[in-house]
Amino acid sequence: MTTVPTRALGHLDRLEAESIHILRETVAEVERPVMLYSIGKDSAAMLHLALKAFHPSKPPFPLLHVNTMWKFKEMIAFRDKTIKELGIEMLEYINPQGIDIKISPFDHGSKLHTQIMKTEALKQALDKWKFDAAFGGARRDEEKSRAKERVLSFRTAQHRWDPKNQRPEFWRLYNTRKAQGESLRIFPMSNWTEADVWDYIARENIPVVPLYFAKKRPVVSRDGALIMVDDDRMKLLPGEKIEHKMVRFRTLGCYPLTGGFESTATTLEDIIAEMRASRSSERQGRLIDHDGSSSMEQKKQEGYF
């Protein structure tokens, strides 16, 4: 048995302890928790925190991946490998409506795609399995309307978020009570920043999807963003041509909606150095956030995570 000497608690230790506390509080008080697993770095860190929180038990809840059918192939491969290695139950949900209409962000636009494949799909999945609490890896530093989100975000039976009717949170006391049909979104990493997540991934040696590291990838420059040609569903527009560039991604989502950028950061050290020097915010590469200045807030009210 290894024994770990005690050291002074730094901010990563404190953030970790807080997240673990939130995970345990929820599991102890709700009926059917689930962890939203979106395969990205925040999900990777959150999953790692869950392994820590319940050790030596396994996390006492399944993971849920709401699949849009447009994720990067490398993300799905990484997901399957992670689940297999950890021996954790994972549920996958795809909105059947999206399959019926052969949903495509290229043909239907990012707004409708997100609405059907993410917002509606999540609600359907939570209803299908009757989950009353869903953990998400969202952080308050990501976006302005997230900055006011509580750790425990209360949702009506229609999954709506009312920013003016959120429960006050004091000390470490969370009120998880809810009526039949109502549910909670729980953000154990509310107080983490992007820099904290990368520092933690490095410190804890947490595996992440290789797309975060720069590599020669086939991309097309479209509307000022570098979109990776991940499969043959991506049709080139007149004048576009596929180029092979050293690119990486700062956030991951559906490949047609995720802009990459040119980078030479091939190691974690490079990534962290690049991020520290960066003069742009994290969600800049996310095309869905820019539908309007308050668009994230609106999506959240409609039930988006």
Binding residues for another protein restricted to 211-240, rule: CB under 8 A: 213
d(CA 80, CA 39) in angstroms, rounded, equals 10
Length of the chain: 305
Closest separation between CB of residue 107 and another protein, Å?
A: 28
- Interface residue with another protein among 3, 180, 241, 264 (CB under 8 A) is 3
Closest separation between CB of residue 233 and another protein, Å?
A: 29
Which of 73/177 has CB closer to another protein?
177
Report the interhelical angle of 11-29 vs 41-54 (nearest 10°): 70
Give the side-chain half-sphere CA count within 13 A for 193.
8
Which of 101/157 has CB closer to another protein?
157
The single residue listed with the structure tokens 């991934």 is 201
Which of 51/112 has CB closer to another protein?
51
| Two structure tokens written together for 230 | 């991940």
Closest separation between CB of residue 145 and another protein, Å?
A: 5
250 binds another protein (CB under 8 A): no
> Which residues from 272-301 bind another protein, rule CB under 8 A?
272, 278-281, 284, 293-294, 297
207 binds another protein (CB under 8 A): yes
- Interface residue with another protein among 36, 39, 42, 48 (CB under 8 A) is 48
- Interface residue with another protein among 102, 111, 128, 144 (CB under 8 A) is 144
- Interface residue with another protein among 153, 199, 288, 303 (CB under 8 A) is 199
Which amino acid appears at position 190 of this protein? S
- Interface residue with another protein among 270, 274, 291, 302 (CB under 8 A) is 270
Angle, CA 154 vertex, CA 152 and CA 155 arms, to 5°: 140
Q: Give the single-character DSSP code of 186.
A: E
Binding mask 166-185 for another protein (x = CB under 8 A): xxxxxxxx-x-xxx------
- Interface residue with another protein among 9, 77, 157, 236 (CB under 8 A) is 9
What DSSP string runs through 57-99? SPPSS-EEEE--S-B-HHHHHHHHHHHHHHT--EEEE--HHHH
Which of 113/155 has CB closer to another protein?
155
> Which residues from 86-115 bind another protein, rule CB under 8 A?
86-87, 89
d(CA 193, CA 278) in angstroms, rounded, equals 14
246 binds another protein (CB under 8 A): no
Going by C-alpha positions, the residue among 49, 39, 38 that lies closest to residue 12 is: 49
Judging by beta carbons within 10 Å of its beta carbon (0-12, 13-18, 19+), is residue 80 exposed, middle or buried?
exposed
264 binds another protein (CB under 8 A): no
